[in-house]
Amino acid sequence: MRIGILGAGMIGGTVGRLWADAGYGVTFGVRHPERLRPMLGEFGGKARAGSAIDAVDGADIVLAAIPFRAWPDVAAEIGATLGDKALLDATVPDPPRDGAFGDAALARGDGVAFAVAPLLPRAKLVRAFSTVMWTTLQSQAHRAGDRIGIPLAGDDKEAVALAARLVADAGFDPVVVGPLSQSRRFDPGAAVFDSDMSGPQVRAALGVV
């Protein structure tokens, strides 16, 4: 399975490294692929870099790890190529960095996912990797004992199952919370957001059995 990753910064680069270590091929989609050359050398031949279209085109599944404000432009660029593929979305609005688009997403009340979903109506959207800081992902993957919990929500059961497998292979405990409408329960401001809770703690906090 090949994974496309939009963005190769703190989240994209960290999760990409964990997937490459797990044996997956990853293609980063960024605006300046040439700048990634030094970093790619550390991926043991498992990673490539190209445009956003390059990353999406050859991928079985895509992770979005771009600034939230970039969504309108990126969605317009990749929409036709992405089609109905599974899209794991780690993006989070961060005021004031993400401008009016980010502010509007946070003000919706039904979940920031619903600011993104209409931009890519055919994609099988799954919120994933949106709650845990990159330093925790980097230092706590595959830890002994209870692993860090990663809440997931999406409407397509197969896409959510695939996301859960990829979360586990990256070294974390996938917590399937429910359909996309449940993702607001782990948006910014929620108890589990940026909490470094373990999987069992996330399940208890969100009432997931």
Is residue 150 within 8 Å of residue 116, measured between CB atoms? no
C-alpha span between 93 and 71 (Å, rounded): 10
Q: Residue from 92, 113, 162, 170 that binds ligand NAP (CB under 6 A)?
A: 92
- The least CB distance from residue 140 to ligand NAP, in Å, is 12
Q: Residue from 3, 11, 86, 113 that binds ligand NAP (CB under 6 A)?
A: 11
- Residue 67 touching ligand NAP (CB under 6 A): yes
C-alpha span between 200 and 192 (Å, rounded): 12
DSSP 8-state symbol, 94: -
Q: Residue from 47, 55, 59, 70 that binds ligand NAP (CB under 6 A)?
A: 70
Sole window of 43-51, 59-67, 115-123, 146-154 interacting with ligand NAP (rule: CB under 6 A): 59-67
Q: Which is nearer to ligand NAP, 139 or 146 (CB)?
A: 139
- The least CB distance from residue 105 to ligand NAP, in Å, is 11
Torsion of CA 14, 81, 87, 63, to 10 degrees: 0
The structure tokens listed for 123 are 């994609």
Is residue 177 within 8 Å of residue 208, measured between CB atoms? yes
Stretch 114-133 residues interacting with ligand NAP (CB under 6 A): 130, 133
How many residues can be counted in the chain?
209
Residues in touch with ligand NAP (CB under 6 A): 7-12, 30-32, 65-68, 70, 74, 90-92, 94, 130, 133-134
